[in-house]
């Protein structure tokens, strides 16, 4: 029997939390570069009564993204996309961050947008980091939003001489995600579908715990200690926002980015996290 299909990319805590909110009664295709990670999340969800299948997928490869979509279409029409895949500044070099987080996300949003069913919805997970660098020019924003995907990595602002370090690459990727969502939401709208972006701050996951105990741990601990919420967030709190965006209560929301960071960005600009001159 054909079902509506949810594509989940990134077999982690945030993606799973969102899938548990919106995936009941649907087929959930879980793509991750690590098939073991995908199998782990798939088993947890299947044991809880969901219907999922794990698939090996490399977000940096258009061919791999297309294979994931083709696998999903075997089970029915694609009704939802949850893109929670990506790499962090401490996980990968500049080139990989741009290839996965920037280019890969752009390809995924583009290709799913071509086949999403009427009434379908999507969310992609970016980051508060997209808010942490100076504003780009309107021309640069438009280039990030609308440049054909296969030409994105050739943009002058993304060349090695213009990217300071892995954190800057990550910030650029997440800024691009936000602009790309705006542009793609227009195209998704032509199919009667919606697309939004969620920009989380520090969310407690196994990966985040590794970061807390790693070389940048003090930086992260200081960030959530000095944000208005005074704590990191949870994957379920991100899922709360996704449930709104992907459900009927969010029917008038598309092309938007929702920042959910406990006020860390506010504190960065106007509070104790403000960088010292």
Active site residues: 170, 174
Give the integer Cα–Cα distance in Å for 103 and 197: 16
Spell out the alpha helix ranges (H) of 147-250.
166-189, 206-212, 217-225, 235-246
**Residues facing 56 on adjacent strands:** 32
Question: Tokens standing for 127?
Answer: 């980051």
Give the integer Cα–Cα distance in Å for 248 and 224: 32
By the 8 A CB rule, do 223 and 273 touch? Answer: yes
Spell out the alpha helix ranges (H) of 23-165.
35-47, 62-73, 94-97, 105-113, 138-146
Question: Tokens standing for 138?
Answer: 């309107």
């Amino acid at each position: 029997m054909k079902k509506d299909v949810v594509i989940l990319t990134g077999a982690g805590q945030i993606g799973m939390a969102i899938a548990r909110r919106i995936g009941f009664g649907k087929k959930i295709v879980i793509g991750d570069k690590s098939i073991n990670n995908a199998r782990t999340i798939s088993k947890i969800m299947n044991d809880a009564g969901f219907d999922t299948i794990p698939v090996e997928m490399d977000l940096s490869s258009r061919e791999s993204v297309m294979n994931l979509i083709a696998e999903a279409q075997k089970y029915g029409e694609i009704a939802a996309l949850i893109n929670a895949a990506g790499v962090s500044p401490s996980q990968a070099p500049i080139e990989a961050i741009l290839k996965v987080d920037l280019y890969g996300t752009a390809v995924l949003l583009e290709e799913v947008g071509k086949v999403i069913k009427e009434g379908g919805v999507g969310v992609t997970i970016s980051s508060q980091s997209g808010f942490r660098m100076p504003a780009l020019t309107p021309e640069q924003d438009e280039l990030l939003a609308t440049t054909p995907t296969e030409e994105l990595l050739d943009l002058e602002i993304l060349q090695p001489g213009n990217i300071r370090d892995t954190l800057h690459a990550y910030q650029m990727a997440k800024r691009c995600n936000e602009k790309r969502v705006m542009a793609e939401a227009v195209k998704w709208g032509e199919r009667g579908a919606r697309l939004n972006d969620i920009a989380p701050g520090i969310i407690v996951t196994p990966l985040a715990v590794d970061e807390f105990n790693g070389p940048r741990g003090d930086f992260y601990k200081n960030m959530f200690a000095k944000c208005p919420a005074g704590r990191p967030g949870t994957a379920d709190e991100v899922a709360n926002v996704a449930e709104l965006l992907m459900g009927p209560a969010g029917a008038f929301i598309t092309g938007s980015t929702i920042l959910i960071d406990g006020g860390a960005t506010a504190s960065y600009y106007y509070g104790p996290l403000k960088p010292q001159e």
